[in-house]
Amino acid sequence: MSDESQELGITESKSHKPGEWYAEVVQKANLADYAPMGGFIVTKPRGYALWEGIQNALDGWFKETGVDNVYFPLFIPESFLEREKDVVEGFDPEVAWVTQGGHEELEERLAVRPTSESIIAPFMADWTRSHRDLPLRLNQWCSVVRWEATETKPFFRTKEFMWQEGHTAHASDEGAWDEVWTRLGQYERLYEDVLAIPVLRGKKPEHDKFPGADTTTTVEALMPDGKSVQGGTSHNLGQSFAEAFDITFADEDEEERTAYTTSWGVSWRAIGALIMTHSDDQGLVLPPTIAPTQVAIVPIWQEDTKEDVLEYSENIADDLEDAGFRVELDDRDERNPGFKFNEHELNGVPLRLEIGPYEVEDEEVTMVHRPDNEESVEDRDEIVESVDEHLDEIYDKLYETAEENLEENIREAHSPEEILGTIGKHGGYVKTPWCGDEACEEAIKEKIAAEIVMQPLEDAGGQSSGEVPEPEHDECGVCGDPADEIAYFAKSY
Amino acid sequence: MSDESQELGITESKSHKPGEWYAEVVQKANLADYAPMGGFIVTKPRGYALWEGIQNALDGWFKETGVDNVYFPLFIPESFLEREKDVVEGFDPEVAWVTQGGHEELEERLAVRPTSESIIAPFMADWTRSHRDLPLRLNQWCSVVRWEATETKPFFRTKEFMWQEGHTAHASDEGAWDEVWTRLGQYERLYEDVLAIPVLRGKKPEHDKFPGADTTTTVEALMPDGKSVQGGTSHNLGQSFAEAFDITFADEDEEERTAYTTSWGVSWRAIGALIMTHSDDQGLVLPPTIAPTQVAIVPIWQEDTKEDVLEYSENIADDLEDAGFRVELDDRDERNPGFKFNEHELNGVPLRLEIGPYEVEDEEVTMVHRPDNEESVEDRDEIVESVDEHLDEIYDKLYETAEENLEENIREAHSPEEILGTIGKHGGYVKTPWCGDEACEEAIKEKIAAEIVMQPLEDAGGQSSGEVPEPEHDECGVCGDPADEIAYFAKSY
């Protein structure tokens, strides 16, 4: 291998040093760079394209289900943040404050939004007069800032991150619950159908809800290193924000009623989960559903075969583009095929087409899968169907591998020793009856940095009831007291 | 008219009180609201949909011409802002500063980005090693903050505004100029083909360039009130940023060379120009090219005709949607047709279809244009073709009216008295020979708040040379000294 090929290679191992490996994949696959200020990153074209893929999927589904995009100010006056007491307690320690504008000190500090309920709710109050104004469904795509003092991990832990935040108001509790499940279902669909990552749906324990929420629901994804990622959350805010900000409406009998609100969000952490789930020691692996380039065509020529090979390759690229695939024909003169193979592997291109003089002669195409290098030879005249099938196969392989990892890593435990031992040995989720006392979570957390990442939800015919099913055993897996809930412990990102 | 219809109406007059009229249209057509902090607005669904229309058009053109989207941090350390001296001088007076993170004072103040050259340029330096890395074309869609102490005017003057900022690096001066003209051409296309607003292309005088730029080019649009709007700017930054941030590359002979950079941006001011150009005393007027709803169908029924009228209307709505039009079937029970007509007028829906029992019987449809109420009756079975033609006609009418306003309002003047008198009487542009001295602009500005908004550019076969053509007269219209440039004076937004 040339020096340049060496430079492309990932040197860390995913299984031995997942943290270092992750950082190397992010940088070498050109997804992001570290900004000069700790906690901030620069999202490069290949990384931003993944975010655009996520945006396009979710934004389409939101619009189909009655959501309007809006944009609220970046700054929230301190007095607004203070109107909902749980919000100020929850976010005050991690707010970035603007105190100067131009050469003047501001009279009131402005928070750089950590989340926008406190600036959106007063406008909801203004816009909601009659029951006919409800439901009101707003969403914005933006960044938020939370000043946490932790090590930077691109897409997982950064002081500024990109997300969408949805905010809705409803005439009834039932309407708010419908909304919560609709959005949680769309998040599940994003992970499973676009990112090829199976998720568990659940709710957060009471003490770990979004500040001000009645219920926080979540989709959780299990990473290959045994840690859980909170993939997206959908909050039933009940009437706490509506009461704090006076969101009321006249019902059909002209009676004044208080609305019910929800909020829900997915951040670029989804990109982190995507990288972590599928990628390997050769670099990034992307399911074809989200890959900015789905097919890389690498022509292999000598001087005397160049013209034929390139013409054949160009025709194939045209056919595939016309069929709607995202294709790159890599006809660079200054790189050899081996370098190109490595580079497309590193960048996570799902399917590589290798075309040399033999393929031209036999009217065939050699296809190679990322990540397992499965190779096959297909007929030129069925290229569109073949590529379609191979991309589906690649998606299925990635999804199945992630699904196996999830299924094999949900274990039951019925004592603190068993919980600690199981997580310590295998990682993954440990399912246990729980009495509902935060102290029991603390007892585990202190010893092993695992916490209750979610509680499963009763399924009431596709529409969750919001209730946690009763456990079969009735003793808390930590303290032994009577338990009527189930909890999933795991280490988490 | 009912009370509710009254509430819909615009009470101010565009010709008599354009400022008050504009504010009323923005609020009553539900485009934006004022935020609690002076200088900030909340962009409501109908306003944000206009921004999405602009984004979709430009983003597609950018991607077709080699631009990649990225995202850089919201904050810029003060020391970075100071690296290019013109930038710090230009922006320092209007920067919002973050000085506290959580409960800690920051060691270094962070600027909320007023524009991102100072944070992007160091990364360009890092990513640009060889001539093969060039051109490098990056763009981000984001908001920026400039702490100006002026009255809030939604989309025209706000402390935070949405925009796109493009940043590119090139191996040669020629490459940078090509880029500048490509983007200026795309901005012209946005205004003319999407917003139905003719623009003038030109450059800003030396003393009014973007801080650090060699040349600032602009597209300028003339509003009906006689003021010019700077519609978008494309800057040739020469080598000033490349030198300040060390953006160098190895050329084909492995010699180290300094790159040439550009930056270019369009803000939501384009929405302001759109509203101001076409709208009238009945409310918003939108060209069909950008209107979120292009066709409103208003069925008109009595109890005994309701079923037939609604069925006929629904079929028409389906046909139009299938043909790709953006259609709203307004079948609300609780509103009468008159109210609906007023509401769709206020919201700027270009074409209204009125369907009553006579239309059903005669297999026809009545069509009414916004803004001039031109009415015609068309055959049901040619509905798709008719709607297409009517929308084209509406676009043409709007464009032609704006074009006439522009053409009639470029006047020549050859003395200070003539310049002042012409602008004072007619508004619009006054074209005059200019010696190039800023003092001559000041002399006019002091008396009438008009300035040099642009200088026309020599056209070198579609590709501008960047040179201003020589005037026919050779005496400066202000001081009488020898003049070898042309300047356009106007009042501006």
pLDDT classification of B9: cutoffs 50, 70, 90 = confident
Least confident segment among A89-98, A327-336, A399-408, B155-164 = A89-98
Chain A environment of B75 (Cβ under 8 Å): 37, 40, 96, 160
pLDDT classification of A127: cutoffs 50, 70, 90 = very high
Judged against a pLDDT cut of 80, whether residue A271 lies above it is answered with yes
Judged against a pLDDT cut of 70, whether residue A392 lies above it is answered with yes
Flag if B69 and A33 touch (Cβ within 8 Å): no
Nearest to B42 among A43, A123, A159 (CB): A123
How far is it, in rounded angstroms, from Cα A427 to Cα A223?
Answer: 10
CB-based contacts of A412, cutoff 8 Å, min separation 6: A430, A431, A432
Per-residue pLDDT, averaged over A286-309, amounts to: 97
Angle between helices A45-64 and A269-278 (to 10 degrees): 110
How far is it, in rounded angstroms, from Cα B218 to Cα B200?
Answer: 8
For the domain covering B3-278, report its CATH number. 3.30.930.10
Chain B (152-171) residues lying within 8 Å, Cβ to Cβ, of chain A: 159-160, 162
Q: A49 to chain B nearest CA, in Å?
A: 7
**Quick check: do B295-397 and B410-490 share a fold?**
no
Per-residue pLDDT, averaged over B321-328, amounts to: 98
Residue from A4, A68, A71 to probe the interface with B (highest B Cβ count within 10 Å): A71
Nearest to A37 among B37, B77, B102 (CB): B77
Classified as helix, coil or strand, A447 is: helix
**Is the CB of residue B81 less than 8 Å away from at least one CB of chain A?**
no
B180-204 pLDDT, tens digit per residue, is: 999 999 999 999 999 999 999 999 9
Chain B environment of A147 (Cβ under 8 Å): 101-102
Nearest to A48 among B69, B102, B103 (CB): B69
* pLDDT at res. A457: 85
Judged against a pLDDT cut of 90, whether residue A226 lies above it is answered with yes
Per-residue pLDDT, averaged over B28-57, amounts to: 97
Phi, psi for B124 (deg, rounded to 5): -60, -40
Per-residue pLDDT, averaged over B27-35, amounts to: 97
Assigned token pair, B459? 């056209």
pLDDT classification of A456: cutoffs 50, 70, 90 = very high
Residue from B46, B97, B158 to probe the interface with A (highest A Cβ count within 10 Å): B97
Per-residue pLDDT, averaged over B122-146, amounts to: 97
For the domain covering A7-278, report its CATH number. 3.30.930.10
Flag if B103 and A112 touch (Cβ within 8 Å): no
B304-314 pLDDT, tens digit per residue, is: 999 999 999 99
Instruction: Report H helices in A78-202.
Output: 78-81, 85-91, 117-127, 173-189
User: Beta strands A160-170 and A200-203: pairing type?
Assistant: unpaired
Judged against a pLDDT cut of 60, whether residue A393 lies above it is answered with yes
Q: Is-contact B444 B422, C-beta < 8 A?
A: no
Look up tokens 């270094």; give the residue: B108
* pLDDT at res. B317: 98
Look up tokens 């191992």; give the residue: A13
Per-residue pLDDT, averaged over A260-283, amounts to: 98
Among B241, B274, B372, B366, which Cα is nearest to B312's? B366
Chain A (329-388) residues lying within 8 Å, Cβ to Cβ, of chain B: 334
Residues of chain A with pLDDT > 90, as a percent, come to 90
Chain B environment of A72 (Cβ under 8 Å): 35, 42-43
Nearest to B73 among A40, A51, A100 (CB): A40
Judged against a pLDDT cut of 80, whether residue A65 lies above it is answered with yes
Per-residue pLDDT, averaged over A468-480, amounts to: 86
B67-124 pLDDT, tens digit per residue, is: 999 999 999 999 999 887 887 788 888 999 999 999 999 999 999 999 999 999 999 9
* pLDDT at res. B465: 65
A133-172 pLDDT, tens digit per residue, is: 999 999 999 999 999 888 899 999 999 999 999 999 999 9
Count chain A–chain B contacts defined by CB atoms under 8 A: 142
Nearest to A147 among B95, B101, B162 (CB): B101
- Helix, strand and coil content of chain B, in percent to the nearest 5, comes to 40, 30, 35
Q: Where are the domains of chain A?
A: 7-278, 295-397, 410-490
Chain B environment of A124 (Cβ under 8 Å): none
> CA B471, B475, B480, B485: dihedral to nearest 10 degrees?
30
> CA A48, A53, A56, A59: dihedral to nearest 10 degrees?
-80
Nearest to B48 among A71, A126, A162 (CB): A71
Per-residue CA distances from A246 to A121, A129, A169 (Å):
8, 11, 12
Flag if A98 and B96 touch (Cβ within 8 Å): yes
- Can you identify the CATH homologous superfamily of domain B295-397? Anticodon-binding domain (3.40.50.800)
Flag if A109 and B96 touch (Cβ within 8 Å): no
Flag if A71 and B43 touch (Cβ within 8 Å): yes
- In CATH, what class is B410-490? alpha beta
Nearest to B70 among A45, A97, A122 (CB): A45
Chain A environment of B31 (Cβ under 8 Å): none
**Is the CB of residue B93 less than 8 Å away from at least one CB of chain A?**
yes
Share the mean pLDDT of chain B: 94
Q: B70 to chain A nearest CA, in Å?
A: 5
Assigned token pair, A268? 């670029």
* pLDDT at res. A3: 45
* pLDDT at res. A473: 76
Per-residue pLDDT, averaged over B345-355, amounts to: 98
Flag if A70 and B45 touch (Cβ within 8 Å): yes
User: Beta strands B295-299 and B351-355: pairing type?
Assistant: parallel
B215-230 pLDDT, tens digit per residue, is: 999 999 999 999 999 9
Judged against a pLDDT cut of 90, whether residue B429 lies above it is answered with yes
How far is it, in rounded angstroms, from Cα A234 to Cα A262?
Answer: 7
Judged against a pLDDT cut of 90, whether residue A86 lies above it is answered with no
Flag if B42 and A143 touch (Cβ within 8 Å): no
ipTM of the complex, rounded to two decimals:
0.95
Flag if A98 and B93 touch (Cβ within 8 Å): no
Per-residue pLDDT, averaged over A238-257, amounts to: 96
Chain B (33-62) residues lying within 8 Å, Cβ to Cβ, of chain A: 33, 35-37, 40-45, 48-49, 51-52
